Structures are given as structure tokens and as C-alpha cells.
Amino acid sequence: MPQPPVAPLPSPRVLTQPIPMELLTADAAVAIDTTVSYTSRDPHALTIVFHLLGEDPVVWRVDREMVLAGSLTATGAGEVHLRPAPDGRLLLRLGPAGHCAMVRCDQEGLARLVRDTFALVPQGTEERHIDWQPLLASLRR
């Protein structure tokens, strides 16, 4: 059976920005070298990479709309929760309850990056940027 023609995907676009973050412990706030990136091939998510000294980086994926919502009010699901901090920064709780990390970051820097993602891939057009062919091919096997 012939397959319908598939519209070509737009060229992939990538944003990468170092954003200073701090791991909050009971005793101190510890600076963490962090990179936040976005690719239009995965248009709903930001990738946050925590570069830890002497260890493999820790990678978390966070919904870009959740980041915007979390800058205004507490939001989250599962192992990712965000809320504005009283000092104007953003708090991210990453991990399961009882075994999570609390991270604080510059809310404006992260919000600016998220706004840039919406300039690359406007809300409602995300599915046009996803390459569905590998999934469809695996389902046909």
C-alpha cells in the first residue's frame, strides 16, 4: 500500500546557554556548572545538564511550558517540580520525594531562553518539528 507523502521537516535548530545554578543543601548553596539546551527536534523539552566535578554529568529534561508556569506559581508532576523563590529566582525540585535535589537558578535567564525556544518553534507547531519516521518504521515491523 503506497504511503502518503510526508512534508519535509524544517531544519533542526538548537539553542545552548550556560545558566548558573546552585544545589541547595541544609548547610549551603553550592554553585553547579550547568548548561541548558533546546533542540527543535524535541520541541517540548529543555535539557538541563549539571556538570559535576569528576563525575558524569547529570541530565534532566524539563517541559518548556512547565518552566514558564513554574516562574509564576508552583507547578510540577512526578519528579519535576518548579516554583518561584521569594528572592525572585526559580526553585527546581528534581527527583522522587524524599530523595530529591533542590536547585535554584536565575529565573530571568532561564525564562529568556524559554522565550527564545518559542521564537524557534511557536506553541502549537511542535509536531511539525518531530521526526516521526523512526517510530512509524518500528511499528510497521
Q: What's the pLDDT tens digit per position in 45-86?
A: 999 999 988 889 999 999 999 999 999 999 998 999 999 999
Please say if the pLDDT value at position 123 is more than 70.
yes
40 belongs to a structural domain: yes
57 belongs to a structural domain: yes
137 belongs to a structural domain: no
132 belongs to a structural domain: no
Calpha distance 15→121 (Å, rounded): 12
State if pTM tops 0.85: yes
110 belongs to a structural domain: yes
2 belongs to a structural domain: no
Look up the domain containing 24 and give its range.
14-123
Contact 43, 129 (CB under 8 A): yes
Which residue type sits at 124?
Answer: G
Which residue type sits at 56?
Answer: D
4 belongs to a structural domain: no
Q: Over range 21-33, report the average pLDDT.
A: 94
44 belongs to a structural domain: yes
Please say if the pLDDT value at position 98 is more than 60.
yes
Q: How many domains does the chain have?
A: 1
The CATH number of whichever domain residue 99 belongs to comes to 2.30.31.20
